[in-house]
Amino acid sequence: MSIFSHTNLPTIPGADLAGGRPVFPGLPGEKLANGLPLDNFAEKRLIFNHFTTPGQLHIYRADCAAGERLRAQLLVPVLSRGGAVVPAFALIGQSLPYSADAQKLPIELPKGFSAIVAPSPSKLLQPVEDVLTRARYYPGPVIDTRTLVGGKCYLAVWSPQNQMGKYVIQTGHRWPLAATYWARLPYFWWQIRGWFGLERSSAVGAVVGVALVGLMAVWLLKKKK
From residue 102, give the alpha-carbon distance in Å to each of 92, 106, 113, 146, 164.
9, 9, 9, 17, 24
pLDDT digits (tens, 9 = 90+) for 53-107: 999 999 999 999 999 999 999 999 999 889 999 999 999 998 887 666 888 899 9
87 in the same domain as 127? yes
Task: Report percent pLDDT > 70 for the chain.
Answer: 81
Count how many domains the chain has.
2
| Residue 130 belongs to some domain of the structure | yes
| Residue 16 belongs to some domain of the structure | no
157 in the same domain as 49? yes
pLDDT digits (tens, 9 = 90+) for 122-147: 788 889 999 889 999 999 999 999 98
123 in the same domain as 89? yes
117 in the same domain as 84? yes
What's the predicted TM-score (pTM) here?
A: 0.82
pLDDT digits (tens, 9 = 90+) for 27-55: 999 999 999 999 999 999 999 999 999 99
45 in the same domain as 102? yes
214 in the same domain as 188? yes
The yes-or-no verdict on residue 205 having pLDDT over 80 is: no
Domain containing residue 217: 179-224
| Residue 15 belongs to some domain of the structure | no
| Residue 2 belongs to some domain of the structure | no
